[in-house]
Structure 1
Amino acid sequence: MTKPYESQAPHPGPASTTRPGRKLGPITENVGSAHRAWLEPMRDSYLKSGLTMSELSGRVRFAKSKISELLRGAGLYPRWEMLQSVSIELRIPQGPLQRLWRQGAFEGQKSKEWVERSSGKTALTMSPPVPPLDHRAFRELMETQYTLYAQVFLNDDQRDAVVSDVFDILWLRWNEALSSPALRLYAWRVLRTNVMSRTPHIDGRPSFATAAFDTVALQSLAEADHDARAAQIEETLELFKAMSRLPDHQLDVMVLRHLCGMPPEEASDLLGVPVATVRSDERHALHFLESVMCPPPETEGNTL
């Protein structure tokens, strides 16, 4: 029996292969993660729409240069009025788009007054937009596990914000997600990208010891005496440091299995990969961690 969230949506109409005019340039390098969260789905919707820049410009009554800047993340951060006009023509859900736009504005150091002033004159609709039924079913099924994963890396406020953003991004890209070979794998990559974009990094690897101390795996510390607790904390910090050096897929498996307490089958279901892959990743990760945390003793006579 096919589950609601696994139903197949029709592919969007093919983008025009003979679209006249200058090709849309890439996203600029200085675009932040929250800005990119709504910009990439908007670009994809434009490219799949078949509209030319001139046609879109005529419909929304903004200059082609301004629309090009908007779709490349160039220039000043856009006001909501412009996004709303473009989103209506591209049939993008305005509710999640506006929430992500607000996050991007705050990421770009815009004040709350600027955000309210930029969006105060425009209303979404008379009634709040509602996600597709299968999207709502998918969120209900996955939100708790996504939150468990995110809390290993982020504080409570960041955790809740990033999980909310992930489901907004999935809403914007829902047809694409449903049309992907594996919905859960697609969604996991969206989650991981957004969690890691907010996680502090040292030498390119995630630093998550502070947030991870609140996970279920460390609750046993509360029952230890002072000396044992201090020793356990030091050992745990070293473990987290070693875990940060794991390949991404092995780190995710170790977090889900040993910090979130999930059995292999549940981790497999969440990641969208076979159980055998989860077990293999865990086995290789444990071997690496043992070699780092408990290196073999030096052979006698092996002196420098």
Structure 2
Amino acid sequence: MTTPFDPPVPPARPAPARPGRKLGPIAENVGSAHRAWLEPMRETYLKSGMTLSELSVRILFAKSKLSELLRGTGLYPRWEIILSLATELKMPGWPLYRLWRQAAFEAHKTRDWVERCSERTALTTTHTVPPLDHRAFRELMESDYHRYAQVFLDDDQRDTAVSDAFDILWLCWNDALSSPDTRHFAWKILRTTVMSRTPHLDGRPELGWAAFDTVALHALTTEADRMNQVEESLKLFTAMSRLPHRQFDVMVLRRLCGFTPEETSALLGLPLATVRSSERHAIHFLESLLCPPPEPEGNTP
């Protein structure tokens, strides 16, 4: 059962202004695994107050190549340069390496290439322990995160997505602690990670076969009844995919994962009233799609 996790919120500090040309956006063709480590690294750089010129001098890497790296253009970067950059930005090496390695395989790098990139930095690629409060947060949330991810992904993808989400959260843990609600901050990371691996149809997520593992389906005894229930569930899931993100997550957690409103509130980091309101609006929308009111008899030809 999920319980609230509300660390103290230190005052927010504005990012220092920096001279020079503004760093361009991440390239659109950057894959989800690459973005998983690149986005936290960019955010850390942007908050550091350093310029690309300063960073280039510190890590002995050309400014133009550094700009490419932080935009995800050019060749996929070797681990040595990522480690040098992480060291200057004071980012933890172990979760960054795990995410970098996974993205390297997504970029079709061979295992031999990955190992050669890492052989000179063995001490930075061994497992290290995350902060105590991060570990406590993971113990509280991990099993519930798995239940959400299971709705969309198979077992292997589910485990990888949840593990990646906690690695990304580790990279920006200080930001999570300084946010208004650590749970809400973490949920956005989990959702983005799960959805990046979830098949989409017309821009809307498709629920996996695990979503059909419902009480209603198990209660039926004949094959015909079960097929009818599957057809009804398909219509419901298709309609659910049209909900706004918050309402969609509330319905998945409440109706497919079986969480109570209080547990859903704690998982999402949202007020209980917001969860109940989101559920009411979602149900009203689904009913309007699946159970439209009959047309008046006078309109019948």
* TM-score over 0.5 (shorter chain): yes
Question: Is 2:232 the counterpart of 1:235?
Answer: yes
Question: 3-state SS of the aligned residue for 1:6?
Answer: coil
Aligned match of 2:44: 45
Of the three residues 275, 278, 281, the one matched with 2:278 is: 281
Provide structure 1 residue ranges, at least 5 long, that are not aligned to the other structure: none
Deviation at 1:219, TM superposition (A): 7.0
Of the three residues 215, 221, 225, the one matched with 1:224 is: 221
Deviation at 1:92, TM superposition (A): 0.5
Aligned match of 1:246: 243
Per-residue Cα deviation, 1:227-279 (whole angstroms, up to 9, x for no partner) = 11111111111111111111111111111111100110000111111111111
Of the three residues 285, 288, 295, the one matched with 1:298 is: 295
Deviation at 1:189, TM superposition (A): 0.9
Does the CA contact (< 8 Å) of 1:39 and 1:71 recur in 2?
yes
Aligned match of 1:264: 261
Aligned match of 1:7: 7
Question: 3-state SS of the aligned residue for 2:160?
Answer: helix
d(CA) in 1 for partners of 2:248, 2:86: 37
What is the number of equivalent residue pairs in this alignment?
299
d(CA) in 1 for partners of 2:225, 2:107: 45
d(CA) in 1 for partners of 2:125, 2:77: 24
Q: Which region of structure 1 is more displaced relative to structure 2, 285-294 or 262-271?
A: 285-294
Aligned match of 2:144: 145
Does the CA contact (< 8 Å) of 1:94 and 1:124 recur in 2?
no
Per-residue Cα deviation, 1:50-90 (whole angstroms, up to 9, x for no partner) = 22322222221211122111111110111111101111111
Does the CA contact (< 8 Å) of 1:57 and 1:63 recur in 2?
yes
Q: Which region of structure 1 is more displaced relative to structure 2, 24-33 or 136-145?
A: 24-33
Question: Is 2:187 the counterpart of 1:198?
Answer: no
d(CA) in 1 for partners of 2:255, 2:4: 30
Does the CA contact (< 8 Å) of 2:145 and 2:162 recur in 1?
yes
Does the CA contact (< 8 Å) of 1:80 and 1:101 recur in 2?
yes
Question: Is 2:180 the counterpart of 1:181?
Answer: yes
Deviation at 1:226, TM superposition (A): 1.2
Does the CA contact (< 8 Å) of 1:37 and 1:169 recur in 2?
yes
d(CA) in 1 for partners of 2:119, 2:247: 45
Q: Which region of structure 1 is more displaced relative to structure 2, 265-274 or 288-297?
A: 288-297
Does the CA contact (< 8 Å) of 1:154 and 1:199 recur in 2?
yes
d(CA) in 1 for partners of 2:125, 2:11: 29
Distance 1:12 1:125, change over 3 A: farther
d(CA) in 1 for partners of 2:11, 2:108: 37
d(CA) in 1 for partners of 2:233, 2:13: 52
d(CA) in 2 for partners of 1:107, 1:5: 34
d(CA) in 2 for partners of 1:200, 1:57: 39
2:261 partner amino acid: P
Q: Which region of structure 1 is more displaced relative to structure 2, 92-101 or 5-14?
A: 5-14
Aligned match of 2:30: 31
Aligned match of 1:116: 115
Distance 1:126 1:34, change over 3 A: closer
Does the CA contact (< 8 Å) of 2:97 and 2:125 recur in 1?
no
d(CA) in 2 for partners of 1:202, 1:245: 11
Question: 3-state SS of the aligned residue for 2:121?
Answer: coil
Question: 3-state SS of the aligned residue for 1:124?
Answer: helix
Question: 3-state SS of the aligned residue for 2:258?
Answer: coil
Aligned match of 2:81: 82
Deviation at 1:295, TM superposition (A): 2.2
Question: 3-state SS of the aligned residue for 1:296?
Answer: coil
Per-residue Cα deviation, 1:139-173 (whole angstroms, up to 9, x for no partner) = 00011111110111111111111100110111000
User: After the TM superposition, which segments of 4 or more aligned residues of structure 1 sit over 4 Å from their partners?
Assistant: 9-15
Q: Which region of structure 1 is more displaced relative to structure 2, 114-123 or 87-96?
A: 114-123
Question: Structure 1 vs Structure 2: percent identity of aligned residues?
Answer: 67
1:258 partner amino acid: R
d(CA) in 2 for partners of 1:127, 1:104: 18
What's the RMSD between the two structures over aligned residues? 2.2
Per-residue Cα deviation, 1:30-68 (whole angstroms, up to 9, x for no partner) = 111211111111112212222232222222121112211
Q: Which region of structure 1 is more displaced relative to structure 2, 150-159 or 288-297?
A: 288-297
Deviation at 1:223, TM superposition (A): 4.8
